[in-house]
Amino acid sequence: MAPQLMFIGLGNMGRAMSKNLVEKGNLDKPLILYNRTKKRAEDLAASLPAGKTEVVSSIAEGVKKADIIFNIVSNDAAVKEAVSAILESDVTGKVVVDCSTIHPDTTKQVAADLAAKGAEFVASPVFGAPAMADAGKLIFVPAGTKSAIDRLRPYFTGVMGRAEIPFDDRAPETALQLKLLGNSFILNMVTVLGEGLTLGEKSGVGVEPVKQFVDLLFGGVHSAYAARMVDGVYWKMDEPLFSADNARKDAGHAINMAAAVGVDLKLAKLGDSYLQTVADHAGGSKGDIAGIYGAVRKQSSSIGHNELSTTTLSPLHLAFSTSVFSIENPHLTAAKNLEIQIETMAQGYSVFIGLVVVAALCVGAWFLSPKGENQTTWRSSLIIAFISCYLMWFVTFMAQLHPLIEPRRTTVKAGFQHE
């Protein structure tokens, strides 16, 4: 009899993987869906054929019915929370497969906890961006007993993925060691791209020739990340493809893993410092790893022009300077971008200068209004008029300084559009 499958975690990756399981997994039972925010599970179920999914309100509810439980969540704490909920039910004979990227020590502990309750555990992190998950082109890295992995293989290659890097009968944490090592490659690549594109711009070579070089010599994932940077996709998305928080989490795990065996990942530390800038600017859960390009450009501006260094800017400058993460045009010269930044910061003072002028006019209206029975009317009319004019100008000025609505690009590369 075919097994009953359950999927926990419906973020960018989980939604795509679940969709492929339903559409290509030859399931004869509905796929059980659970997400901490239930509406996300309900929305996914509504987008798939009727009767192919079942949304549950708790992990325990789904585990009772499931034979194979897939889990992909954001970090170590979320994995521990999910596994604790799984262990509330009888898991004897069930297979739990965790596709999350976490520390190998966390995986080792989770495997021991599940084994103690009679479950089989497979760690199977995946390589590939959400676009690859949508296309069913992920690379799975399963580690655990071969018998357990064999139960999962019908759902890997040809369904959710295109290939495996298997660790049959190896400790589950081995898969996470490779995953973190691989993600350090990704971080280093993005850092090199961000620095290279910035150097192309600052040196006068231009961004487009650098991107053409990347496309022609490397292609693949290099070209995909370069496109996200040059087209500005990384700061236009409502939800990042690979958040700064998750990238920093992976970098930290990789650095710690390397330190334990005497290896110093200097490049990963550099990438992490850029990611910190991204997180500080956009928020760790909102900033995308490709924002490293913006971080490099911001730091390059500070290094190249001491007068714009954040160490010398006043809070007023920082409050009203428009970020180079978003508005600088990579095809303009460095001098022109500097001119734009200086002009934008100077405009920030206009708000306070205007306020001081209006305050002075109001004080003048109070003391200089004609005396007599209509003095109060004169005072109130003039003060209200001055304040109203200021407010109308203020709203218009701020809308230009930081637009609330920006136009949608129609030239975003296919596969990286956020829906």
| Catalytic positions, written as ranges | 179
Query: What 3-state DSSP class applies to 140?
Result: strand
Contacts of 256 by beta carbon, 8 Å cutoff, 6+ apart: 103
The rounded distance, in Å, linking the Cα atoms of 359 and 316 is 20
Q: How many residues does the chain have?
A: 419
The rounded distance, in Å, linking the Cα atoms of 36 and 186 is 29
- Per DSSP, what are the bridge partners of residue 237? none
Torsion of CA 148, 150, 154, 158, to 10 degrees: 110
Query: What 3-state DSSP class applies to 257?
Result: helix
**Cα atoms found within 13 Å of the Cα of residue 45, Cβ hemisphere only:** 19
The rounded distance, in Å, linking the Cα atoms of 339 and 345 is 10
Query: Which pair of tokens denotes residue 151?
Result: 């139960």
Burial of 137 (0-12, 13-18, 19+ CB in 10 A): middle
